[in-house]
Amino acid sequence: MQNSSSQAPWYMQQSMVTGDYNQAMKRKERGLSVRWRVKASLDTTEAAAAAGEVAAVVGQVTEVNKDTFWPIVKAAGDKTVVVDMYTQWCGPCKVIAPKYQELSKKYLDVVFLKLDCNQDNKPLAKELGIKVVPTFKILKDSKIVKEVTGAKFDDLLLAIDNARSS
């Protein structure tokens, strides 16, 4: 795959999470509407790209940023959304990442997102009250219902189960 500045980041290309990210961002830059949605696991990213959408795919972890986070959370509707706030340099973040990926395959009724709390996404991290990484926020109906700080897998599992049953 090519990796030019006009393409989506490599993690979005490989996982095919975003449909045609470039097309959607170009539409947004031109002032055109971009629709966001959470896709069922059987939906195709080609359909999303054709519709000019950027979408999260159930059964995968979707990387989000300050521009895509809230639209995808709102598109999730009443689904449980779990967000992993991490940094590239965080050791505990790297340790829990594979376990988080496995959870996305186990809970197909939950939307799993990742937000790199880098300089570009700092305003969103501040808005969400992130003080340490990793921090996991669990949302329902676009509202934060639970937070788990640190790489505490058992606590995260319990919080997800509680949010799903509420």
Taking alpha carbons only, the member of 9, 142, 2, 1 closest to residue 78 is 142
Report the pLDDT value the prediction gives residue 30, as an integer from 0 to 100.
74
The catalytically annotated residue of 93, 110, 111, 156 is 93
Report the pLDDT value the prediction gives residue 57, as an integer from 0 to 100.
83
Cα angle 162, 156, 9; round to 5: 120
Residue-level pLDDT, tens digit, the chain, 166 residues: 444 444 444 344 333 334 455 666 666 677 766 665 555 543 434 455 445 566 788 899 999 999 999 999 999 989 999 999 999 999 999 999 999 999 999 999 999 999 999 999 999 999 999 999 999 999 999 999 999 999 999 999 999 999 999 8
Active site residue 117: no
What is this structure's pTM? 0.72
**CA-derived radius of gyration, the chain:** 15
**28-50: per-residue pLDDT in tens?**
677 766 665 555 543 434 455 44
The catalytically annotated residue of 16, 25, 51, 90 is 90
CB 108: neighbour CB atoms within 10 A? 11
Helix ranges, 16-152 (H): 21-29, 45-50, 69-75, 91-106, 122-127
Assigned token pair, 6: 């006009």
Report the pLDDT value the prediction gives residue 5, as an integer from 0 to 100.
42
Active site residue 93: yes
**86-108: per-residue pLDDT in tens?**
999 999 999 999 999 999 999 99
